[in-house]
């Protein structure tokens, strides 16, 4: 039974993609199609902010890309030396809030201790964060993408938690997306299930899926990696057959298995 995941494959250097591995345990034939393309921006500004931990209460990372931006701006020799010699230890005394295990593991790679990784979305993280932060304190530094949702900033503002956002990457449609979807449907046929991994993935992929699947689109069980993505799917009229309880390979695989009644 074929399953299509609309996400980037995991970096080959770090082993097989865990979603393919987990779905394989259920006998699914899984394919990945990259949906998004990222361009990192404002890295010098980001480093300047990271150079002044005394100005912030902590950091918020809601995507792996935001941590990758941090790794990039710390990658130059002089900046990496400054990070290792003093900045890292100063930031370690502050909170580093994250959403999801993938983001948490990247935060650990730069030497910080992530908090809140079990929060499945920005809304839950905001609640977790508000229970731990003091209103009217120094701001939390929030490196984010150009398509970030306003849920977290809005909730924090309502609670008097100061936030300083900085766009560190821009999100666009992957240049090969349409051709990859066309090839998949022509060669593999209609999959039993398709999983969306982000609201922007819904935005960029849906019209192509509708075009290439035609009247057979009703045969597909659509899955969401989390509630935010599910909301975006429902807004576009896509029936959501399952939403992963947590954004993990295990929960997604279990959800798809149940949706397909296996």
pLDDT tens digits, residue range 209-229? 999 999 999 999 999 998 889
pLDDT tens digits, residue range 152-163? 999 999 999 999
What's the pLDDT at 12? 53
Average pLDDT over residues 247-255: 94
Both tokens assigned to 56: 């912030």
pLDDT classification of 78: cutoffs 50, 70, 90: confident
Q: Is 245 left (phi over 0), alpha (psi -120 to 50) or beta?
A: alpha
Q: Does the model's pTM come out above 0.75?
A: yes
What's the pLDDT at 187? 97
Helix axes 43-50, 64-73, angle to 10 degrees: 80
- Whether residue 56 is predicted with pLDDT greater than 90 in this model: the reply is yes
What's the pLDDT at 10? 73
Pairing of strands 36-40, 163-173: antiparallel
pLDDT tens digits, residue range 117-146? 988 788 899 999 999 999 999 999 999 999
In total, the chain counts a number of residues equal to 262
- Angstrom CA distances, 214 to 55, 71, 108, 110, 183, stand at 54, 43, 44, 46, 15
Contacts of 152 (CB under 8 A, 6+ apart): 60, 62, 122, 123, 125, 126, 142, 163
What's the pLDDT at 13? 55
What's the pLDDT at 165? 97
Alpha helices in 83-176 (DSSP H): 88-92, 101-109, 122-130, 151-158
- Whether residue 238 is predicted with pLDDT greater than 70 in this model: the reply is yes
Segment among 9-18, 104-113, 238-247 with least mean pLDDT: 9-18
pLDDT tens digits, residue range 6-52? 998 876 556 789 999 999 999 999 999 999 999 999 999 999 999 99
pLDDT classification of 147: cutoffs 50, 70, 90: confident
What are the beta bridge partners of residue 59?
A: 96, 141
Query: What is the rounded CA–CA span in Å between residue 99 and residue 102?
Result: 8
Segment among 97-106, 107-116, 171-180 with least mean pLDDT: 97-106
């Amino acid at each position: 039974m074929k399953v299509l995941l609309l996400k980037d494959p995991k970096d080959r250097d770090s082993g097989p993609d865990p979603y393919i591995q987990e779905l394989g345990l259920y006998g699914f034939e899984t394919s990945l199609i990259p949906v998004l393309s990222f361009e990192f921006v404002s890295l010098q500004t980001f480093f300047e902010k990271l150079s002044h931990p005394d100005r912030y209460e902590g950091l918020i990372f809601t995507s792996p890309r935001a941590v990758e931006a941090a790794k990039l701006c710390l990658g130059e020799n002089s900046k990496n030396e400054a990070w290792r010699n003093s900045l890292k230890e100063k930031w370690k005394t502050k909170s580093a809030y994250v959403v999801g295990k993938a983001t948490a593991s990247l935060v650990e790679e730069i030497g910080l201790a992530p908090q809140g990784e079990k929060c499945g979305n920005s809304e839950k993280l905001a609640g977790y964060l508000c229970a731990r932060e003091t209103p009217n304190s120094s701001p939390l530094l929030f490196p984010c993408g150009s398509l970030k949702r306003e849920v977290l900033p809005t909730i924090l503002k309502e609670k008097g938690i100061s936030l300083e956002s900085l766009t560190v990457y821009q999100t666009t449609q992957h240049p090969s997306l349409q051709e990859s979807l066309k090839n998949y449907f022509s060669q593999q046929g209609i999959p039993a299930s398709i999983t969306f991994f982000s609201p922007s993935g819904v935005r960029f992929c849906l019209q192509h899926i509708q075009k290439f699947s035609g009247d057979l689109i009703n045969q597909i069980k659509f899955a969401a990696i989390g509630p935010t993505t599910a909301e975006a799917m429902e807004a576009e009229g896509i029936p959501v057959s399952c939403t992963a309880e947590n954004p993990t390979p295990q929960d997604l695989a279990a959800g798809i298995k149940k949706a397909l009644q296996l």
